[in-house]
Amino acid sequence: MTLRLRHLWLALAVWGTVHPMYWFVTFLRQNGWDAAALIDAWHVNASSTGLVWDLTIAAVVLTLWILSEVAVRRNWLALVCIPAIFGIGVSCGLPLYLYFRSRPVG
């Protein structure tokens, strides 16, 4: 069961990478490869601004959790999840971290 769950975390990390990136790349192709335009689009209305802040806070909390657990567990490889969180999103970083965290000990 644990191995299946570990594979599920990895599959969700892949999905959390591919699905959001599809939409980001689609936007950038249509509007030019301008990060400022993408950020402006995130704040086009109160609903999207709220979602941006929700995900930003979740990313900060997840980063702090990863750092605190890495300090205890010494699972240094899990630190790669932090750039994934801020470069791709929480939808990739969280399941990726759970994948690294669920590896067999010993």
Q: Distance between CA 69 and CA 74 in Å, rounded?
A: 8
> Which residue matches tokens 């657990």?
69
pLDDT above 70: percentage of residues in the chain: 97
pTM confidence score: 0.89
**pLDDT for 106:** 64
pLDDT tens-digit profile of 11-45? 999 999 999 999 999 999 999 888 899 899 999 99
Report the sign of the C-alpha dihedral through residues 68, 69, 74, 80, in that order: negative
> 3-state DSSP call for residue 83?
helix
> How far is it, in rounded angstroms, from Cα 103 to Cα 99?
7
